[in-house]
Amino acid sequence: MHEIGMCEGLVELLERRAGGRRINGARVRVGVRHAVVGEAFDQAFTLASAGTVAQDAAVDLVVTPVTVTCRACGARCESLDVLAVCPPCGSDDVDVTGGDELVLESITFGEEPADVPGHPR
């Protein structure tokens, strides 16, 4: 479950940005090529954030598509399927680009400082 490693890195980044403030939420954009499973990501984030300033934060996971360019008919489309074929003609002779990003888009901080052991107030 690669989501655990991804979420551990995300929590580390959130803690650095938080400066001791409580984090209520975050928005993360992840490309479909990372093959992130939403439910597994949520569980991994819950585990990774336990006892941190991000504990109980809501994470909005936005999955971005790949761009499929067909060599057969020239069509260019987006797809959330990593093994995409050309939607108009069905050809599998395609170039697939994008869909590999991993971006922390935003953080929502709480009103009160976090009460987390080991973190200064």
Angle at 16 between CA 18 and CA 23, to 5 degrees: 30
**53 or 114: whose pLDDT is higher?**
53
pLDDT at residue 84 in the model: 85
Considering the domain boundaries, does residue 116 fall inside one?
Answer: no
Q: Does the pLDDT at position 121 exceed 50? A: no
Query: Was 77 annotated as part of a binding site?
Result: no
Query: Which domain CATH number covers 51?
Result: 3.30.2320.80
Q: Which domain holds residue 95?
A: 1-109
Q: Give 93's contacts (C-beta < 8 A, 6+ positions apart).
A: 70, 71, 72, 86
Structural domain includes residue 119: no
pLDDT digit string (tens) for 81-105? 888 899 899 999 999 999 999 999 9
pTM, two decimals, is: 0.81
Residues 69 and 35 sit within 8 Å (Cβ to Cβ): no
Q: Is 120 within a domain?
A: no
pLDDT of 116 > 80? The answer is no
| Each residue's pLDDT tens digit, 55-78 | 999 999 999 999 999 999 999 999
> Would the annotation count 7 as a binding residue?
no
Query: Does 2 appear as a known binding residue?
Result: yes
Q: Is the pLDDT of residue 1 over 50?
A: yes
114: in domain: no
In a domain, 121, yes or no: no
The tally of domains found in the chain comes to: 1
